[in-house]
Amino acid sequence: MLTVKNISKTYGEAMKYEALKEINFTIEAGEFVGIMGPSGSGKSTLLNILATIDNPTNGKVLLNGEDPHALNSEQVAQFRREKLGFVFQAFNLLPTLTVEENMVLPLTLSGESVRVMKQKVREIAPKLGIEQLLKKRTSEISGGQAQRVAVARAMIHHPQLILADEPTGNLDTKASKDVMRLFHQLNQEEKATLLMVTHDPLSASYCRRILFIKDGKLINDIHQTSTQEAFYQEIMQQLAQLEGVNNEF
């Protein structure tokens, strides 16, 4: 479903910095994949390229055979709006809107009818446990609830791929576990395809697969084959082998 072919990214002219070096991987529809690595390893650069926020210097990104980086600016905006969903560490909800208005924002931008928007809210809000919050402002809800709203906004237009950037970074332990259980549920029950950047091994253990990046290179690719606890231990072992990664925790 997602194919990353020989992606490289170089910044600068006189003093060049190669942030990504010939990254290759594929993600099948319905997979839940995490990206991990030390600070400065290239995780965010890769996510920005997949999100069409940045362009690769070399290589291609194909989402169901379509290369968004070959589109013009108007087409890229439409691609991002219709085929991608985003969940950010800082939630990125609009404080002047209600929870419901934040949820339907992608549909509003696409010109969807009010009837359809109301129907989609009725479908998704109970699944995320936020049906009682719909008329509240985002300033009136907790961080964990805000991230649930952000997930709802990312899901409401049924994107082909959901990209999450440190989605538990601003949450306490309980809220983090709640959000990760929610991601796991959406992946299992709704067959959502998720790609998540995280530095947190516990959050990563909810994924089915982890890509490890160091110094702009894809170092390893591991799959969960037994229990979540065993996968957590395997993730910890992999992180320990990455030079300097322990400084992140």
Alpha-carbon distance of 203 to 105, in angstroms, equals: 27
Residue 249 lies in a domain: no
Residue 248 lies in a domain: no
Residue 58 lies in a domain: yes
pLDDT digits (tens, 9 = 90+) for 2-36: 999 999 999 988 888 899 999 999 999 999 999 99
pLDDT given for residue 91 in this prediction: 79
Alpha-carbon distance of 21 to 168, in angstroms, equals: 28
Residue 218 lies in a domain: yes
- As a whole number of angstroms, the longest Cα–Cα distance in the chain is 55
Query: Stretch 220-230: mean pLDDT, rounded?
Result: 95
Residue 122 lies in a domain: yes
- First vs last Cα of the chain: how many Å apart? 33
pLDDT given for residue 243 in this prediction: 61
Alpha-carbon distance of 212 to 242, in angstroms, equals: 9
The SS3 of residue 15 is coil
Domain with residue 52: its CATH number is 3.40.50.300
* Tokens matching residue 236: 């910890």
Dihedral angle sign, alpha carbons of residues 146, 152, 153, 159: positive
Provide the pairing of β-strand 2-11 with 209-214: unpaired
Residue 214 lies in a domain: yes
**Crossing angle for the helix pair 173-189 and 114-128, to the nearest 10 degrees:** 120
pLDDT of 245 > 60? The answer is no
Total structural domains within the chain: 1
Residue 12 lies in a domain: yes
Residue 235 lies in a domain: yes
CA 74 to chain centroid, in Å, comes to 23
Point out the least confidently predicted range of 81-85, 144-148, 202-206, 243-247.
243-247
Q: Which domain holds residue 131?
A: 2-243
186: part of which helix (H) or strand (E)? helix 173-189
Mention every residue, 6+ apart, whose C-beta is less than 8 A from residue 179.
144, 147, 148, 151, 167, 168, 171
Provide the pairing of β-strand 58-63 with 84-88: unpaired
pLDDT digits (tens, 9 = 90+) for 94-107: 988 999 999 999 88
Entry pTM: 0.87
pLDDT of 246 > 50? The answer is no
